[in-house]
Amino acid sequence: MSEQSERTLILIKPDGVRRGLTGQILARVEAKGYTLTAVELRDADDQLLAAHYAEHEGKPFYAPLVEFMKSGPVLAAVAEGHRVIEGFRALAGATDPTSALPGTIRGDFGRDWGLAVQQNLVHGSDSVASAEREIGLWFPGR
Ligand code: IDP
Ligand code: MG
């Protein structure tokens, strides 16, 4: 396997796009040393989001999560590099932006707004299998 063989799907969620944070967030990915191989602003629809978040179907935050993800454009990106899946999740920080450590994307830019779903700026794939599945959904053919 080559150095570039691991890939992850990164989403900058609608809160990050609305707040004008896409540049700062992508800059952190690049500054860490990963390579962006696809970047596209997208309007996600129900079908794509149902597939992307299938593991969460039935959870109390599922419907609010889908609505939130449709509330504005999402920046979808693919990043590559050895251990990029683990590395991007470390850059992102914990799911709950209140407990996400300062220095992480969610810790520095996110907060709890008291809503049914946490608006935490970014998504990152959590395994090689998830990454390949999610890249196939957002960037068919890649
Ligand atoms: P992750 O994005 O850190 O991998 P997941 O458990 O995969 O977290 O959840 C997907 C998304 O659903 C989270 O990023 C967050 O926006 C939302 N979410 C997850 N758990 C909760 C919760 O307990 N309350 C509200 N929203 C949640
Ligand atoms: Mg997840």
Closest C-alpha to 88, from 128, 138, 50, 52: 128
Range 34-52 average pLDDT: 98
Range 50-54 average pLDDT: 98
Query: Tens digit of pLDDT for each residue in 78-121?
Result: 999 999 999 999 999 999 999 999 999 999 999 999 999 999 99
CB of 22 closer than 6 angstroms to any ligand 1 atom:
no
pLDDT at 5: 82
For the chain, give the percent of residues with pLDDT over 90: 95
| pLDDT at 2 > cutoff 60 | no
Active-site residue flag, 123: yes
| Cα–Cα dist 83/106, whole Å | 20
| pLDDT at 125 > cutoff 80 | yes
Task: Dig out the tokens for 55 from the structure.
Answer: 């593991």
| pLDDT at 17 > cutoff 50 | yes
| Cα–Cα dist 66/59, whole Å | 12
Ligand 2 centre from 20 Cα, in Å?
Answer: 23
| Size of the chain in residues | 142
pTM over 0.95: yes
Nearest residue CA, atom 26 of ligand 1?
A: 117
Q: Which domains are assigned to the chain?
A: 5-138 (3.30.70.141)
pLDDT at 1: 47
Measured torsion, CA atoms of residues 56, 59, 61, 63, in degrees rounded to the nearest 10: 80
